[in-house]
Homo-oligomer: A and B are copies of this chain.
Amino acid sequence: MPHRAEAARRTTIRDVAAQAGVSIGTASKALNGQGKLRPETRDRVAAAARELGFAPNVLAQALLGGRTYTVGMITTDSFGRFSIPVMLGAEDALGSGQVSVFMCDTRDDPARERRYVERLLSRRVDGLIVTGRRIEPRPSIGTRPGIPVVYAMTQSLDSDEPAVIPDDHGGGQLAALHLIGAGRRRLGHIAGPERFLAARKRAGGFCEAAVSAGVGISPHDVLYGEWSEQWGREAARILLAAAPGVDAIFCGSDQLARGVSDSLRQLGRRVPDDIALVGFDNWEPMALGADPPLTSIDMCLEDVGRRAAELLLAAIDGEPPHGLTTVPCRLITRASSGGPG
């Protein structure tokens, strides 16, 4: 095609310069506070720019400066429950630095992922954030060297590449300490699938903290299953049959806790009076909708995203980080463990 087909050309710095009666270079200096100019000239240019609604063409700036103030965010999670808060945090940290974010959802398709990476590279992004829904190491996204990458809520098989993940182990510990602190001594844990690293880490932290506090629970008391309410319902029955005296249950997700809560009600056990309940994720629609509302462990995913973005910015500025960063979890106390509400 020739040039642009249509519409009123946006005003450029050339228009501003003309209106102010100066050269293009002078206009640029006036707008950016560079060079030596008479104050009155600066004002004239500023006025012209305001009047014409001038905003510099970022493309041209980027072309010249070699930096686009743009990063790519790649998710395999279909903007799911985990990657979204991560993105929010990252966007927050980046956005305040005038960096814009290209969003790409690979739908778990490696071919699509490659295409997106190519596209982002030819858009000359300054860096890449890769998010996922599992913290397990994944194949490296493998860009050319020179463009920095940070993994968030996932990590690379190449363990030198920087990654930020929540501290699931610490989250499990938090749950145990909270329940024990509330006077519970006969603990149970209902978990997601054992093949999930996060499920194992949560269970590990929980058991470890309990044992350190002198409360007996062992890793093979953990009921691994699925990430579903259905499994929560089943597992609660199994657990109560095996250990009728249990007075606290930690669940590997809020969904599990919802299922457990249901079964407990049907079995005639009161929450929290008979059995205290702690979930994981602090997924508010789930946790607040439960009756009573669920105490839960919040992974602070926004912090994960924010941290990842900070690391990326550092890398772009020439201070590449390495290895794994974990972000601590936080306990949110609600009625299901006797807290407020």
Residues in chain A within 8 A of chain B (CB atoms) = 1, 3-8, 10, 53, 55-60, 62-63, 65-68, 73, 78-79, 81, 84, 87-88, 91, 95, 98, 100-105, 116, 118-124, 144-146, 228-230, 233, 255, 258-259, 262, 285-286, 288-291, 318
Contact = CB atoms under 8 A, between A and B. Distances in A.
A66 B7 CA distance: 11
A144 B53 contact: yes
**Quick one: copies of this chain in the complex?**
2
A1 B84 contact: no
Contacts of A59: 59, 62-63, 68, 123-124
Contact of A318 (B5, B57, B289): B5
Contacts of A87: 79, 103
26 contacts: A1-B65, A4-B65, A7-B145, A8-B145, A10-B144, A56-B122, A57-B63, A58-B122, A58-B123, A58-B124, A59-B62, A59-B63, A59-B124, A60-B63, A79-B79, A79-B87, A79-B88, A84-B84, A88-B105, A91-B104, A95-B116, A228-B289, A229-B289, A229-B291, A233-B291, A259-B289
Contacts of A289: 228-230, 255, 258-259
Given A1-B65, A8-B146, A95-B104, 6 more contacts: A4-B65, A53-B144, A79-B84, A102-B102, A228-B289, A229-B290
Contacts of A288: 228
Given A57-B124, A124-B57, A285 B63 contact: no
Given A87-B79, A285-B286, A119 B100 contact: yes
A81 B4 CA distance: 38
Contacts of A103: 73, 87, 91, 101-103
* Residue of A68, A119, A258, A285 with highest tally of chain B CB at under 10 A: A285
Nearest to A318: B6
Contact of A4 (B4, B5, B66): B66
A145 B9 CA distance: 11
A56 B124 CA distance: 10
Contacts of A105: 88, 91
Q: Which of A3, A53, A122, A145 has the most CB of B within 10 A?
A: A122
A100 B68 CA distance: 15
Contacts of A258: 289
The 4 A-B residue pairs whose C-beta atoms are closest, nearest first, are: A4-B66, A229-B289, A55-B122, A103-B103
A10 B102 contact: no
A67 B6 contact: no
A144 B146 CA distance: 38
A55 B121 contact: yes
A121 B32 CA distance: 19
Contacts of A229: 289-291
A189 B144 CA distance: 58
Contacts of A57: 63, 122, 124
A259 B289 CA distance: 8
B318 A67 contact: no
Nearest to A4: B66
A132 to B, nearest CB: 16
A62 B59 CA distance: 8
Nearest to A229: B289
